[in-house]
Amino acid sequence: MKEIELNIRIRAYRYEELNEADRELMDAAIDATRRSYSPYSKFSVGAAVRLQSGTIVTGSNQENAAYPSGLCAERTTLFYANSRYPEEAVETLAIAAKNEQGFLESPIPPCGACRQVMLETEERFKRPMRILLYSLHDIYEIRGTKDLLPLSFGSEFL
C-alpha cells in the first residue's frame, strides 16, 4: 500500500488587501449579482473574468422553471467569455454570491460542474486561471483549478 497525498493551497485576503486590479474584478462580480435571474432559489451569484487583454466580462446565474435548464454564474460567464473572445485566455475568475439576507459570511465554493468547465478553460488556453471567492470576511485566492478539483478528469485521459 502507498498513500498519495494531494495538497491544495488557498490564500485568504481581506477586501482591503486586494490589489487594485483584483478589487476591480471583485467589484464587477459583486455588481453582477444584481443581474442574477434567480426567482426560484433567490440565491444571486455574480461572476467576473479578467481576460489576458485586461477586458472584464461578467455574468450571473440564470434560472428556469424547469430547474436543470438554468445555469450557474460561473458557466454563464466562462461560456460567454470563451465564445465572445475565443483567442483570449482567462487570467482570473471572481465569484460573489448573496442570499436574501445579503452577501455570504464565507466564500462560496463553485459547484462540481462549474469546476469541470473551469478546468476545460485552463486546458484550452494552457494556463492556470486564478479564482477569487468573495465573502464578507475572507476572500479566497486559489491559484488554479487544480486546487479546486484535485484528481481531475481532463483531455489527457482520452
Active-site amino acid positions: 74
Under 8 Å between Cβ of 133 and 140 = yes
Q: Which listed residue (43, 79, 80, 103) binds ligand THU by CB under 6 A?
A: 43
- Cβ(115)–Cβ(109) below 8 Å: no
* Geometric angle at alpha carbon 107, from 70 and 62, rounded to 5°: 15
Contact between 41 and ligand THU per CB under 6 A: yes
Smallest distance from ligand THU to CB 132, Å = 13
Report how far residue 20's alpha carbon sits from residue 38's, in angstroms, rounded to the nearest whole number: 30
101 contact partners, CB below 8 Å, separation of at least 6 = none
Nearer Cβ to ligand THU, position 63 or 91?
A: 63
Cell matching residue 79? 461560456
Closer by beta carbon to ligand THU, 41 or else 143: 41
For residues 139 and 134, give the distance between their C-alpha atoms in angstroms, rounded to a whole number.
Answer: 5
Q: Report, in Å, the least distance between residue 37 CB and ligand THU.
A: 8
For residues 126 and 145, is the Cβ–Cβ distance under 8 A?
Answer: no
Rounded to a whole number of angstroms, the minimum distance from the CB of residue 130 to ligand THU is 16
Calpha distance 118→137 (Å, rounded): 25
Q: Which stretch binds ligand THU (CB under 6 A): 8-16, 69-77, 136-144, 149-157?
A: 69-77
Q: Is 67 annotated as a binding residue?
A: yes
- Stretch near ligand THU under the rule CB under 6 A, chosen from 6-14, 18-26, 65-73, 130-138: 65-73
Q: Is there a binding annotation on residue 29?
A: no
Span of 20-28, 40-48, 50-58, 131-139 interacting with ligand THU by CB under 6 A: 40-48
C-alpha cell at 108: 462560496
Annotated binding site for Zn(2+): 72, 111, 114
Using CB under 6 A as the criterion, which residues of the chain lie in contact with ligand THU when the complex forms?
A: 38, 41, 43, 45, 61, 63, 70, 72-74, 110-111, 114
